[in-house]
């Protein structure tokens, strides 16, 4: 199972040694050596749903955007509209699109006192930066890639309480006052601490950016406060239960956001905001969007997995883009892209057997509880 390749050694985060010391099983994730689990993915999943766990997400990339044209530029760069960011620290989820209206990446952008902060995926970071630099040519926009920062996501019903035990006491009231999807720098921007009430698990929690050299000690302190290290395996089952897209699986540069459940992230108004991809999306809408994203539920035995064919009788075929066993629900759930005319039932080709599945509105789980009916 272990293949020897001549590819470059995977990159490591500042927390790599901490993961190894905690007994992590390390895998190559988008060119990064990351922990997949520390013993049991299922136990780690449950800890995040019931208490507090933390993820090393330092492989994701933080980019600060400044300059006189930063706002105008972002209003053309991404499909959602930063004009909506009504107060400092507010965050926005958006796709960054090609002119053909497909997804280069999905990202979060925060309004900060100095401009904007963007967080993009690990596997797409280099591509994103090259695209952004190209779009910034001749504009009064400056991009600062903050690779010197680590990032730790603390998630779960007790996450904020436990994280506050090891953060500066004087920050506590501000952190507890953070609105959902809001984040601030704590101290100066150069010092590097930035804390946001965001996450990727369907639970409350924080995403904490901090200087790389301070990360191992902070990680250790969080363990001391009862926050368990959680691997990328549980991160995937948690985000899937929460019905959240994963780049490279549920969407990519071959898929339009309209077909990937990201229609809500496109700001069509004002109509004169000519963001990259707009014309293509308007044409797609006018012609009728052919596919839609749905949730699938299999209440019997078996696990729905990415790539499996979905058969919708009388309508056509689709595909599972992410599928897993749901540790919270104790059965399998999946995200699928199916023909637009799909109703409430479908079948999945499960190891050669067409098996009935239900089509539901996502998310599957929110704050630890089943939400679909």
Partner 1 sequence: MSNVPAELKYVNSHEWLRLESDGTVTIGITDHAQELLGDIVFVELPEVGAQLDADATAGVVESVKAASDVYAPIAGEVVDVNVELESSPELANSDPYGAAWFFRVKPANVADLDKCLTAAEYSKEIGV
Q: Cα-Cα-Cα-Cα dihedral of 105, 107, 111, 112, to 10°?
A: -100
Determine the 3-state secondary structure of 255 from DSSP. Answer: coil
Strand order in the sheet with 193-196: 183-186, 193-196, 205-211, 149-155, 53-56, 228-229
Nearer to partner 1, 39 or 187 (CB): 39
Question: What sign for the dihedral angle of Cα 320, 324, 328, 329?
Answer: positive
Pairing relationship of beta strands 53-56 and 61-66 according to DSSP bridges: unpaired
- The least distance separating partner 1 from the CB of residue 179, rounded to whole angstroms, comes to 34
What minimum distance in Å lies between the beta carbon of 372 and partner 1? Answer: 20
Q: Which is nearer to partner 1, 37 or 162 (CB)?
A: 37
Summarize as ranges the residues that interact with partner 1 (CB under 8 A).
Answer: 1-2, 37, 40-42, 233, 237, 301-303, 305, 324-325, 327, 351
In this complex, which beta carbon is closest to partner 1, that of residue 32 or of residue 325? 325
Q: Which two tokens stand for residue 262?
A: 């990201």
Least distance to partner 1, CB of residue 194, Å: 32
Residue 351 or 361 having the CB closest to partner 1: 351
- Pick the closest to residue 229 from 60, 39, 83 (CA basis): 39
Nearer to partner 1, 41 or 245 (CB): 41
- Residue 355 backbone dihedrals phi, psi, to 5 degrees: -120, 135
Task: State the minimum distance, in angstroms, from the CB of residue 302 to partner 1.
Answer: 7
User: CA 227 to CA 206: how far, in whole Å?
Assistant: 12
Please report how close the Cβ of residue 235 comes to partner 1 at its closest, in angstroms: 12
**207 known ligand binder:** yes
Q: Return d(Cα 122, Cα 119) in angstroms, integer.
A: 9
**What are residue 157's phi and psi, to 5 degrees?**
-60, -30
Q: Which is nearer to partner 1, 21 or 130 (CB)?
A: 21
Q: Say if residue 344 is exposed, middle or buried (CB neighbours under 10 Å; 0-12, 13-18, 19+).
A: exposed
Closest distance of CB 351 from partner 1, Å = 7
10: left (phi over 0), alpha (psi -120 to 50) or beta: beta
Whole-number Å distance between alpha carbons of 311 and 367: 32
- Give the strand order in the sheet containing 91-97: 91-97, 103-112, 115-120, 61-66, 142-145
Nearer to partner 1, 311 or 329 (CB): 329
Closest approach of partner 1 to the CB of residue 41, in Å: 5
Please state the residue numbers annotated as binding site for substrate: 207
């Amino acid at each position: 199972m272990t293949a020897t390749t001549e590819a470059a050694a995977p990159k490591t985060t500042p927390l790599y040694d901490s993961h190894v010391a905690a007994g992590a099983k390390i895998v190559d994730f988008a060119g990064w050596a990351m922990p997949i689990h520390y013993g049991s993915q299922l136990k780690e999943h449950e800890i995040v749903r019931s208490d507090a766990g933390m993820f090393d997400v330092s492989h994701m990339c933080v980019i600060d955007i400044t300059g006189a044209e930063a706002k105008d530029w972002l209003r053309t760069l991404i499909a959602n509209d930063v004009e909506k960011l009504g107060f400092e620290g507010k965050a926005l989820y958006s796709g960054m699109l090609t002119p053909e209206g497909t997804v280069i990446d999905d990202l979060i952008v925060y309004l900060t006192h100095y401009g904007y902060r963007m967080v993009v995926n690990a596997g797409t970071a280099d591509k994103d930066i090259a695209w952004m630099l190209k779009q910034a040519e001749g504009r009064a926009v400056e991009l600062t890639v903050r690779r010197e920062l680590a990032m730790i996501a603390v998630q779960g019903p007790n996450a904020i309480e436990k994280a506050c035990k090891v953060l500066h006491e004087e920050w506590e009231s501000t952190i507890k006052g953070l609105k959902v999807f809001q984040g601030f720098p704590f101290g100066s921007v150069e010092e590097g601490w930035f804390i946001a009430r965001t996450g990727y698990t369907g639970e409350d929690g924080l995403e904490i950016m901090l200087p790389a050299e301070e990360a191992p000690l902070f990680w250790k302190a969080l363990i001391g406060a009862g926050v368990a290290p959680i691997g990328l395996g549980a991160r995937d089952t948690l985000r899937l239960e929460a019905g959240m897209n994963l780049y490279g699986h549920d969407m990519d540069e071959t898929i339009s956001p309209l077909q990937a459940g990201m229609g809500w992230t496109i700001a069509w108004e004002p109509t004169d905001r000519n963001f990259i991809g707009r014309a293509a999306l308007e044409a797609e809408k006018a012609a009728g969007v052919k596919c839609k994203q749905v949730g699938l539920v299999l209440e019997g035995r078996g696990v729905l997995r990415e790539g499996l064919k979905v058969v919708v009788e009388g309508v056509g075929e689709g595909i599972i883009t992410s599928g897993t066993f749901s540790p919270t629900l104790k059965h399998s759930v999946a995200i699928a892209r199916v023909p637009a005319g799909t109703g409430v039932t479908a079948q999945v080709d499960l190891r050669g057997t067409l098996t009935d599945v239900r089509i539901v509105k996502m998310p599957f789980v929110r704050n630890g509880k089943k939400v679909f009916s």
